Structure 1
């Protein structure tokens, strides 16, 4: 049986092209396409089939990606969602992850990488491209986690918030230079490359609870 996909995107031409692409992948099938989160909510409220994965645009009229993820967290907390975005909006992506999103895709992603992303979600529960992190697909997560000091773990918690690095320094009563040192040390230990990658690692490993 094919893995079922729902696309939620207000750009009709993109959504149609995405549907054709997904249907060309072995083992995947688009079962519906909606132009905003409100239409998706109505679909669920009518007790329709829950898809294996939702491809969710972050920027939409009526009910955008964040509002839709908030509803899903309350009503369908186990639903696998991949965010779709035109650029790497770090703050918004982190908010999406904290609401239960399993990763994000740039809309200009290579088709082979896109297929890999869908398979990764089904197999591991998360998708992380190399720009974000190497840690999520690596076999030494526990060892990496245990290598963090108490203060580094505290920093990770703050990094999962909406605070800037300057605000984190103030909260931890440390200088911005020290915070930069913590960040670089943690990135190296966990083999993550961005704050988004760090947040994904923290959520997946239970360091930060959503």
Structure 2
């Protein structure tokens, strides 16, 4: 682990809680506040408030109900992923039906929990999506796999994310989609400051991505990274 990797993991994971039901919202705030290594960054009662508050507090994870007034969870997820690409979205809902599962995953949610999840599941889901991994409730996994087998949906990166139990097109050497995007920009000749401007993220974030990319692909400099990108047909990912 590099110094930058270690620095990026210092401090608790900050979570923004979003649910239109006051009892549920307060319960989640209380639960999350009791988890080790996780803190509550704020709470919102609808999707519009969630986006506005997230832009202010910049949480690591947004725990988001899907059925809300003003702006529903799917629309809020889309806006959050566009405006805060380094914030992971973990959706929470009463139902595990495909009417809400597939749009949420397509919008960019990394995790999907049903409201009967226990505290251990909530904790594990938050930690997983913060690490860039997918977390799907077991009921959701089963429903998604069934839909793919029956031809209801065609497996894609969005509908079959990592950890879903359904194969997704894999990137080489464990690269995440974001890391592949950064690598493609390096191969296109962009400097770290230029990548920051292109992706609208901090220099520290880009530096962390670059360090992780080099570690995964075994590159010692940008020239080797560029060669790797071309060999693995990743240049068009940025």
Q: TM-score band (shorter)?
A: 0.5 to 0.7
**1:168 alignment counterpart:** none
- Aligned partners of 1:133, 1:42: CA distance in 2, in Å? 31
Aligned pair partner of 2:20 in 10, 30, 43: 10
**What residue ranges of structure 1 are gaps of 5+ in the alignment?**
135-151, 162-189
Q: Following the alignment from structure 2 to structure 1, what is the Cα–Cα distance between the partners of residues 12 and 106? A: 29
**Structure 1 residues 202 and 16: CA distance shift in structure 2, 3 A:** same
Shift of 1:43: 2.2
Q: CA deviation at 1:87?
A: 1.3
Structure 2 unaligned segments of length 5 or more: list them: 1-10, 143-147, 172-176, 178-236
Q: CA RMSD for the aligned pairs?
A: 3.1
- Between the aligned partners of 1:191 and 1:55, the Cα distance in structure 2 is 18
CA contact (8 A) 1:80 1:125 kept: no
What are the within-5 Å matches in structure 2 for residues 12-51 of structure 1? Answer: 12-45=22-55, 48-51=56-59
- The answer as to 2:198 corresponding to 1:202 is no
Runs of 4+ in 1 over 4 A off after TM superposition: 203-206
Alpha-carbon distance in 2 for matches of 1:203, 1:56: 27
TM-score normalised per structure 2 = 0.56
- The alignment covers a number of residue pairs equal to 152
Distance apart, 1:66 and its partner CA: 1.1
Q: Which has the higher contact order (CA 8 A, sep 6+)?
A: 1
Measure the CA separation in 1 of the matches of 2:35 and 2:27.
13
TM-score (structure 1 length as normaliser): 0.62
Partner residue in 1 for 2:224: none
Q: CA deviation at 1:114?
A: 1.6
- Indicate yes or no: 2:75 matched with 1:67: yes
Alpha-carbon displacement from aligned partner over 1:99-144 (angstroms, at most 9, x marks no partner) = 110011111111122212122223352213444449xxxxxxxxxx
SS in 2 for 1:16: helix
Q: 1:110 to 1:156 in 2, by over 3 A?
A: same
Q: How does 1:30-179 map to 2 (within 5 A)?
A: 30-45=40-55, 48-133=56-141, 158-160=154-156
